[in-house]
Amino acid sequence: MSFLKASLAWIEERTGAMAFIAPLLFHHVPRNAKWWYVFGSATLMFFTIQIVTGVCLATVYAPSAAQAWESLNYIDNEVPMGWMLRALHGWSSNAMVVMMAIHMLQVFLHASYKYPRELNWITGVFLLLTVLALAFTGQVMRWDQDAYWGLGIGAAIADRIPVFGDQVRAMLLGGPIIGGETLNRFYALHVFVLPGAAIALVGLHMVLIIKNGISEMPKPGAVVVPSTYRKEFEERMHTDGVPFMPDAAQRDMVFCGVCLIGLFALAAISGPIGPGGMPDPTLINTNPRPDYPFMWLFGAVSLLPPASETAIMLIAPAIGVLLLLAIPFFSNSGERAPSKRPAMVLLAVVTVMAIAALTWEGTTSPWSPVMDGWSSLPTPAKFTRGRTPLEMQGAVVFQYAQCRNCHALDGQGGRRGPELDAVATRLSYDQLVRQVQQGGGNMPAYGKNLDSAQTAAVVAFLATLHPSNEPDSMIPGAQLPIPTGSAAAH
Amino acid sequence: MSDDVKKSCGCGDCGCGTAAGRLPQSAPRRGFMVKLGAGLLGVGGLLTAIPIVGYIVGPATKRFSNVWVELGSVALFPAGQTRFATFLNPIRQPTDGDSAKTACWVRCIDTAKYQVFAINCAHLGCPVRWFAQSKLFMCPCHGGVYYQDGSRAAGPPPRGLFEYKWKVEGGKLLIDAGRLPGLEESV
Ligand code: FES
């Protein structure tokens, strides 16, 4: 033992390592922090996992558009433990984004960004951007159909930038098309630039945490007064603080341990994420979707009114980032307790709900036609029973003319247009004809595309879609069911 | 630390200038050296930055012009029909792999009258699919729909499908292709 001690002393005398680390480990933190403060540590742990698994994957992954997709399949299927490494890397990426969001939310709700921790917040915002950029570039690394068409969407958005759109797009893609140089650009970002930035920012974030201390739990009435805060805080830490190691670190360790085991289980059970279809742009039977961290953006872009979407897509992200950066400058003193900042709490709740709702919308994407609805979904039997031949013919036209891609029957089919189970109760016969022929709303005009016999048949079918206790759509003014009527038949 | 040590040593607090027994440099000379160093570094940095920045922004400054590409014999595109066609992008790199392949829709209106549509939706570039039965192109991303002549029918696209210039030569259909179609310019 004394030899060990002597060796340590020998190293210490030459490096001063302990003298450097000890204050970091044993600095005093608030006694009452409890479990609220574990999320930042968990984010950092996931980041560490990303670096380790990322370096491992880079030893096999071929960063070339011609081979990337095959090399991923090779890692999944041939390399020992390769699938698990990819699973860990993919799920840890999602977990890191989630943890970071929770960490940010906690800091926001507790107003920990107030004096003197404004720069803690700002480095945090840049970390958020860096991590999201890592997630996006990581999705490109999969180089599957989603990656290819996702880049296409990015290129199309860049293209809408006034004046420089062309140049920005070329910079993004590294050329006039999505190809080899595109992947390599994103690869350089994903494995060199962004991790480097993230490591530097994490370092800065930590230095600031040590310098400014960990904020106390907010108490109503305990206001932040910049002129006296630091002195009083240091006094309180001195008299009432507890050393980070082990008092606070023990909770971090327990939480991170649980997270790590959870990640392992998730990765082992769910397996690697992708790669999806091979990145051949001539295989167009694809339904491009972004990864989960970007699902809400996909939802937002899809729901924007077309007339203003360019402006919103280009400006809103910049405004969002500026607002995040500005928060500690607008309010850097005063109350920190959520109960004294109801507007801020409301803002946080609304933001979280909006992101959750948009994620849900993005996941279900009701605006997308079900591209194979017309050919793969059966016509519900209850809508065929007792129908006349003309109405049956209309049911066939309804499938055949892809109406089902956008309109659901009995809950199955597209959600782009209204479900038509009871359309006869909403539209008269003439209105049905007009809607089919002229379209309107989000519906194309079928007038040019269906001949009159097909239109008559499909309208006759639609006119029978109603609850059994209601009549078919009538010709206005006529007291009788439409001439081809099915009332007699059922 | 005494004032005169501070003055005589460049670093200001270690006293190395005197400890090493070197002659203290005179103040004007030291100022000159700092300026010279900053100047040299600045010039060198700028010089080095030229190739680096040029390399990174290269794709934005390089002009690519489209090239006539063959889609195949006109017999592949019968009158009154819209057919799927693919070609290898004429502007490509050795590392592109499959991503240099490109798809398009060829509509033969009548003999020797064509429309060739880019596969990319005019909204945000997703691949549109042709449905011959309803004579519509539909987009899987946000529900853009186009008529058979490429004009916008419904949904978010701000315009109709992008069209390639085409010509028929020696019984073959050719299109003027290269760049990924986008709003800033039609292909
Ligand atoms: S990309 Fe086609 S509708 Fe948006």
- List the domain boundaries for chain A: 22-364, 373-488
Q: What is the pLDDT confidence band of residue B77, given thresholds at 50, 70 and 90?
A: very high
Determine contact, residues A395/A377, Cβ cutoff 8 Å.
Answer: no
Nearest-CA residue for atom 1 of ligand 1: B124
Q: How far apart, in Å, do the first and last CA atoms of chain A sit? A: 96
Q: Rounded to the nearest whole angstrom, what is the distance from the C-alpha of residue B121 to the centroid of ligand 1?
A: 5
Q: Which residue of A has its CA nearest to B141?
A: A368
pLDDT band with cut points at 50, 70 and 90 for residue B4: very low
> Which ligand 1 atom sits nearest the alpha carbon of residue A153?
1
Architecture of the domain made up of A22-364: Up-down Bundle (1.20)
Q: Distance, CA A276 to ligand 1 centroid (Å)?
A: 20
Which ligand 1 atom lies nearest to the CA of residue B142?
3
CB-nearest to A160 from B59, B141, B183 is B183
- Give the pTM: 0.89
- pLDDT value at position B1? 41
End-to-end CA distance of chain B: 73
Q: Do B138 and A286 count as a contact with CB atoms less than 8 A apart?
A: no
Q: Distance between CA A145 and CA A418 in Å, rounded? A: 30
CATH number for the segment(s) B67-185 = 2.102.10.10
Q: Answer whether B133 sits within 8 Å of A448, measured CB to CB.
A: no
Chain A residues lying within 8 Å of B157, measured CB to CB: 306
Helix (H, G, I), strand (E, B), or coil: what is residue B136? Answer: strand
pLDDT (mean) for A108-117: 95
- Closest Cα of chain A to B91: distance in Å? 8
Residues of chain A found within 8 Å of residue B60, distances taken between Cβ atoms: 166-168, 170-171
Ligand 1 centroid to Cα of residue A153, in Å, is: 9
User: How far, in Å, CA of A171 to CA of A167, rounded?
Assistant: 6
Is residue B21 helix, strand or coil? Answer: coil
CA of A371 to the centre of ligand 1 (A): 13
pLDDT digits (tens, 9 = 90+) for A255-283: 999 999 999 999 999 999 989 999 999 99
Q: Is the pLDDT of residue A353 over 60?
A: yes
**Inter-chain touch B60–A374, beta carbons under 8 Å:** no
Structure-model confidence comparison of residues B8 and A345, the more confident one? A345
Instruction: Note whether A65 contacts B153, CB cutoff 8 Å.
Output: no
The residues, any chain, with a CB within 8 Å of residue B178's CB and separated by 6 or more, are A176, A177, B64, B65, B66, B67, B89, B90, B91
- On chain A, the residues whose CB falls within 8 A of the CB of B86 are 282
Q: Are A344 and A108 in contact, with CB atoms under 8 Å apart?
A: yes
The pLDDT of residue A487 is above 50: no
Q: For residues A431 and A10, what is the distance between their CA atoms, to the nearest angstrom?
A: 92
**Do the Cβ atoms of A388 and A489 come closer than 8 Å?**
yes
CA separation for the pair B155, A140 (Å, rounded): 27
Is residue B5 predicted with pLDDT exceeding 80? Answer: no
pLDDT at residue B23, as a whole number: 60
Task: Say if the Cβ atoms of A67 and B138 lie within 8 Å.
Answer: no
Where is B49: in which H helix or E strand?
helix B27-61
Q: What is the mean predicted confidence (pLDDT) over A179-204?
A: 97
Distance (Å) from CA B167 to ligand 1 centroid: 28
Report residues whose beta carbon is within 6 angstroms of any ligand 1 atom.
Answer: B 121, 123-126, 139, 141-144, 155-157
Task: Report the half-sphere exposure of A135 (CA within 13 A, side-chain side).
Answer: 23
CB contact under 8 A, B59 and A178: no
- Assess contact for B152 and B146: CB atoms under 8 A: yes
- A12: CB partners within 8 A, 6+ apart: A18, A19
Quickly tell me which residue has 């909204």 as its tokens. Answer: B123
Cβ separation A179–B57 shorter than 8 A? no
Any idea which fold A373-488 has? Cytochrome Bc1 Complex; Chain D, domain 2 (1.10.760)
Higher pLDDT, A306 or A281: A281
Q: Which helix (H) or strand (E) holds B87?
A: strand B81-88
Q: What average pLDDT does range A143-159 have in this prediction?
A: 93
